[in-house]
Amino acid sequence: MTELDQRPGAPPANGPGTTNLADILERVLDKGIVIAGDIKIDLLDIELLTIRLRLFVSSVETARKAGIDWWETDPALSSRAMDSELRAENRELRDRVAELESADGNGNGNGSAHSARTKDTAGT
C-alpha cells in the first residue's frame, strides 16, 4: 500500500517496480492516447478477456491459499453469490412460513410470506 508518495511540485515520478501493478495496468492499457498504428494490435480483446481473467484467477488462487473464501460467501461480492444467498434465504423463509401456517392454521404469517416471495422474484 503506497500511502502517500508525496513530492509536491516534483515532476511525475512513479518509479517502476515500486508501483502497484493494477494501477499501472489500468493506466497503460486503458488510458493513454490511442492512435491507429500500422500494425494492428487489438488490445481491447486481449485486455478484457484474458488479462482480467488472469489477474482474477491468480489473485483468487492467492486468496484461496490464504484461506480467504470471500468470493463464495460475501453477498456484496458477486451477483451470483447474492442470488444464491437470497434464494437460499427465501427457501428457508418459505419453509418456515409453511411450517408455521400449518401449525396454527390461521394464516397469520401471510403478510410476511408475501413479502418474502416478492423479494424472491426481485432478487433473481
Partner 1 sequence: MTTTQHTAPTVDGTTAGTATYVYAVCRQLAPAGLSALPGLAEGFPVRALRCGTLTAVVQHVPAADFTQEAWEQRLSDRTELERCARAHHEVVVAAAAGGPTAPLALATLYRSDERAREALGQDAARFTAVLDRIAGHAEWGVKVSLPAGSPRPPADPPPDGARRDAPAAPGAGRAYLERKRGLHRAREHRHDQALRTAEDIDAALSRLATAARRLRTHGQELTGTAARRQILNAAYLLPHERAGDLAAEAAAWRARTGAEIELSGPWVPYSFVGEV
Counting residues that bind partner 1 (by CB under 8 A) gives: 74
Where in 24-53 is the site for partner 1 (CB under 8 A)?
24-43, 46-47, 50-51
User: Judged by CB under 8 A, which of 48, 87, 91, 99 binds partner 1?
Assistant: 99
Q: Could you say whether residue 72 binds partner 1 (CB under 8 A)?
A: no
In this chain, which of 48, 64, 74, 88 binds partner 1, going by CB under 8 A? 74
With H, G, I as helix, E, B as strand and everything else as coil, classify residue 10.
coil
> Cα(25)–Cα(51) distance, rounded to whole angstroms?
10
Q: Apex CA 91: angle with CA 73 and CA 81, to 5°?
A: 20
Give 36 or 121: the residue with its C-beta nearer to partner 1: 36
Residue 122 binds partner 1 (CB under 8 A): no
Q: Minimum distance from CB of 123 to partner 1 (Å)?
A: 9
Is 63 one of the binding residues for partner 1 (CB under 8 A)? yes
C-alpha cell at 16: 517502476
**What single letter denotes the amino acid at residue 18?**
T
Is 55 near partner 1 (CB under 8 A)?
yes
Q: Does the footprint of partner 1 cover residue 88 (CB under 8 A)?
A: no
**Could you give the CA distance from residue 113 to residue 94 in angstroms, rounded to a whole number?**
7
Name the one residue in this structure whose C-alpha cell is 518509479: 15
